[in-house]
Amino acid sequence: MEYTAVNDLVEIYDGEPRTGTFLISQGFEREHQTVIKLIKKHEQDFIEFENNKGFSKPLIIRKIKSKKAGRQVEEILLNEGQTIFLGTLFRNTNRKVIQFKKSLVKDYIAVKAQLDALQSHKDKPEYKITREAGIIVRKEATDTMKAFQEYAREQGSKSPEMNYMSITKMMNGLLFIVEGKFKNLRNVMTIPQLMTVSSAEHIINKALSDGMKKNMFYKDIFQEVKKKVMIFAELHGQSEVIDEQLKLAAK
């Protein structure tokens, strides 16, 4: 679940437009390691562009698979300010690089407009009502999961807290196509998607409760939950989270 590419050059990472240095290095016609070294040389200057909420944040580093190298390489995810600053440190002005810079600027403008449209969708009263109702259902499911964690611990589970994460990940994977990293996935869902999550959590909640009442082994309960969610997902189908939001926001 890690990243959502909205445009070719700019992606959304935790609700903010960003560009990876691997892609930037290609557009600026520089070796990727040269770009990384340059950023590290001026690291404190780059970090200043992260300091927009009153506290300093470190540079965001992630691993990606390099088509050229055939293995994972580390890159830095830059926000708009950092990307602009990096561009000022390079003097290459051939036509190809200029065209890349123009495309990069256009993508940042487009992604920010899309994020504004998403926020407008979230501000609608019907969205807020659905979201609040979902929070109640989520609270019930969370309480049941806490009880299940203790139940699993008593039956010998060495990491019962992982069950909650595993069930949530399974549910999201079966019901949604998520190609992005979000602090809270529900904040970027449509109203129908929020309703789908609530229905799935009702199913999970009941399956966990029924399994514990029957004194089933915790691993068997987990498999029963998975089976029921799979049936629900097969009947319901998958939807793409960000893509569906953008379609609604554009209406």
Q: How far is it, in rounded angstroms, from Cα 199 to Cα 204?
A: 9
What is the pLDDT, as a whole number, of residue 231?
92
What pLDDT, on the 0 to 100 scale, is given for residue 167?
A: 84
Per-residue pLDDT tens, the chain, 251 aa: give them. 233 444 578 888 877 888 999 989 988 888 999 999 999 999 988 988 886 554 456 888 888 876 655 677 889 999 998 998 898 888 767 888 888 888 888 888 887 877 777 777 778 888 788 888 888 888 888 899 889 989 999 998 888 778 778 888 888 888 888 766 666 778 778 888 888 989 999 999 999 999 999 999 999 998 999 899 899 988 888 888 765 555 544 45
List the chain domain ranges.
4-120, 124-249
The pLDDT of residue 3 is 35
pLDDT value at residue 6: 42
Residue 178 dihedral angles phi and psi, to the nearest 5°? -120, 105
CA distance 12 to 180: 7
pTM (2 decimals)?
Answer: 0.55
pLDDT value for 138? 82
The reported pLDDT for the residue numbered 179 is: 64
Per-residue confidence (pLDDT) for residue 66, from 0 to 100: 64
